[in-house]
Amino acid sequence: MKLMVLACLASVAVAAPQHLDERDARHIAVLRDDRTDDGQGNYQYEFETENGISKSVVGRPGSAGGNVVEGFYTFTFPDGTVAEVRFTADENGFVAESPLIPETPAHSLQQIQTAEEQRRQGVTWDGQGRRLTR
């Protein structure tokens, strides 16, 4: 779950519009944009821009009726460091891997284990976080 939230935040940060002064605004050229789709749920796309952003994704039908998607994206920090995030998305959810994503703290793992145990016991909660069942 934490990885999904962090990956979403990273994607939003990378995709967020930059509020640039008109003097700093410039067109970023797409160097490569390759796409294939067989119409049966199998697809692939890759693109690369001149400012160091690239993405590569392969998708195929999954066994549970959804899609299985694997890929990676890269971007360059202002200091020139290249960041890479690899990901998969399937019937088990979205999982991102990168040195940019910190390890899950022990107290968070404990909270997740507690929530799983409560779920197994049938404990339910309302939308405000109040326990409905004992």
Residue 132: predicted pLDDT: 81
For residue 103, give the amino acid letter: E
Residue 134: predicted pLDDT: 66
**Does an H or E element contain 17, and which?**
none
Tokens standing for residue 76? 């360059």
Q: Would the pTM of this model clear 0.85, i.e. be above it?
A: no
Q: Output b/e per residue, 79-105; b: 16+ Cβ within 10 A.
A: eeeeeebebebbeeeeebebeeeeeee
Task: Give per-residue pLDDT as tens, 87-119.
Answer: 999 988 899 999 988 888 999 999 989 988 988
Residue 65: predicted pLDDT: 81
Alpha helices (H) in 1-134, listed in sequence order: 2-15, 106-120
CA distance 14 to 113: 32
3-state secondary structure of 16: coil
Residue 12: predicted pLDDT: 53
Tokens standing for residue 106? 């022990």
Partners of 84 in the β-ladder: 74
Mean pLDDT computed over 43-54: 94
Position with higher pLDDT, 7 vs 65: 65
| 93-97 vs 67-76, strand pairing mode | unpaired
CA 4 vs. chain centroid, Å, equals 6
Task: Give per-residue pLDDT as tens, 3-41.
Answer: 555 555 556 555 655 555 555 567 899 999 999 999 999
3-state secondary structure of 121: coil
- Best mean pLDDT range from 9-18, 49-58, 59-68, 91-100: 49-58
Domain boundaries, the chain: 2-102, 104-134
Mean pLDDT computed over 50-68: 91
Q: Is 69 exposed, middle or buried (0-12, 13-18, 19+ CB in 10 A)?
A: middle
